[in-house]
Structure 1
Amino acid sequence: MHLTIVGCGYVGMALARHLQERRPKLRLTLTTTQNDRRAELDPLADQVVVCEAQSQLGLYEALNGCDIAVFSFGPAGNHQVDEAGYRHIFIDSFACLDKLLPELATLKQLIYTSSCSVYGDARGSWVDEATPPNPRDDLGAVILESERLLQSMASSSRRVCLLRLGALHGLSRDLKRRFRSLAGQKWNSDGQEYTNWIHVDDVAGVLTAAIDGNWSGVVNVVDNTPISMSELLDSTLQQQGLEPIQWSKEVRGSICNRRICNARLHKLGYQLIHPSTAPTIGSVNVCGDPKRLRP
Structure 2
Amino acid sequence: MVFSMHKLIIGCGYVGLSVAQKWLEQGHAVSALTRSETHAHEFEKRGIRPMMGDITQPDSLKGLPESETVLYAVGFDRSAEKSRREIYVEGLDHVLTEIKPRTQKIIYLSSTSVYGQSAGEWVDETSVCEPERENGQICLDAEQMFEQHGLLPNGAQRETATAVILRLAGIYGPGRLLARMQQIKASEPLTGRPDAWLNLIHVTDIVNTILKCDTDIHLESHYLVSDSRPITRQEYYETLARLIKAPLPQFAEEAPGQPALKSQRMHSTERAAGLNKRCCNKRLREELGVELVFPTIQEGLPQAIENT
Which TM class, normalised by the smaller chain length? 0.7 to 0.9
| 2:168 corresponding residue in structure 1 | 165
User: For the residues of structure 2 that align with 1:214 and 1:107, how far apart are their CA atoms?
Assistant: 17
| 1:131 corresponding residue in structure 2 | 127
| 1:270 corresponding residue in structure 2 | 290
Is the aligned partner of 1:255 residue 2:253? Answer: no
- Matched AA of 2:291: Q
User: For the residues of structure 1 that align with 2:13 and 2:236, how far apart are their CA atoms?
Assistant: 26
Is the aligned partner of 1:4 residue 2:2? Answer: no
- Matched AA of 1:163: L
- Matched AA of 2:9: I
Q: 1:224 aligns with which of 199, 204, 228?
A: 228
Paired residues of 1:31 and 1:48 also in contact (CA < 8 A): yes
SS in 2 for 1:8: coil
| 2:197 corresponding residue in structure 1 | 194
- Matched AA of 2:289: G
Q: How does 1:47-66 map to 2 (within 5 A)?
A: 47-62=49-64, 64-66=65-67
User: For the residues of structure 2 that align with 1:180 and 1:88, how far apart are their CA atoms?
Assistant: 33
| 1:293 corresponding residue in structure 2 | none
SS in 2 for 1:48: strand
- Counterparts in 2 of 1:263 and 1:8: CA distance versus 1, 3 Å: same
Shift of 1:75: 1.6
| 1:235 corresponding residue in structure 2 | 239
Shift of 1:60: 3.0
| 1:286 corresponding residue in structure 2 | none
Shift of 1:27: 2.4
- Matched AA of 1:68: T
- Counterparts in 2 of 1:190 and 1:147: CA distance versus 1, 3 Å: closer
User: For the residues of structure 2 that align with 1:143 and 1:256, how far apart are their CA atoms?
Assistant: 21
- Matched AA of 1:91: V
Paired residues of 2:166 and 2:224 also in contact (CA < 8 A): yes
User: For the residues of structure 2 that align with 1:194 and 1:81, how far apart are their CA atoms?
Assistant: 32
Identity score, percent: 24
- Counterparts in 2 of 1:259 and 1:251: CA distance versus 1, 3 Å: farther
| 2:213 corresponding residue in structure 1 | 210
Shift of 1:80: 8.3
Any stretches of 5+ residues in structure 2 without a counterpart?
152-156, 258-272, 301-308
| 1:90 corresponding residue in structure 2 | 88
- Matched AA of 2:164: C
| 1:73 corresponding residue in structure 2 | 74
User: For the residues of structure 2 that align with 1:246 and 1:13, how far apart are their CA atoms?
Assistant: 35
Aligned-pair Cα RMSD in Å: 2.5
- Matched AA of 1:134: E
Paired residues of 2:227 and 2:292 also in contact (CA < 8 A): yes
Deviation string 1:148-176 (CA, Å, 9 cap, x unpaired) is 0123223533211100011111121137x
SS in 2 for 1:269: coil
Is the aligned partner of 1:32 residue 2:34? Answer: yes
| 2:304 corresponding residue in structure 1 | none
| 1:290 corresponding residue in structure 2 | none
| 2:136 corresponding residue in structure 1 | 140
Any stretches of 5+ residues in structure 1 without a counterpart?
281-295
- Matched AA of 2:73: S
Shift of 1:95: 1.9
Paired residues of 2:30 and 2:48 also in contact (CA < 8 A): yes
| 1:121 corresponding residue in structure 2 | 117
- Matched AA of 1:74: G
- Matched AA of 1:208: L
Count how many residue pairs are aligned between Structure 1 and Structure 2. Answer: 271
| 2:147 corresponding residue in structure 1 | 151
Deviation string 1:223-269 (CA, Å, 9 cap, x unpaired) is 11111000111221133332223336778443351110000001211
SS in 1 for 2:165: strand
TM-score w.r.t. the length of structure 2 is 0.79
- Counterparts in 2 of 1:240 and 1:106: CA distance versus 1, 3 Å: closer
Deviation string 1:116-143 (CA, Å, 9 cap, x unpaired) is 1111333111100101112231111101
SS in 1 for 2:103: coil
| 2:260 corresponding residue in structure 1 | none
Shift of 1:45: 4.2
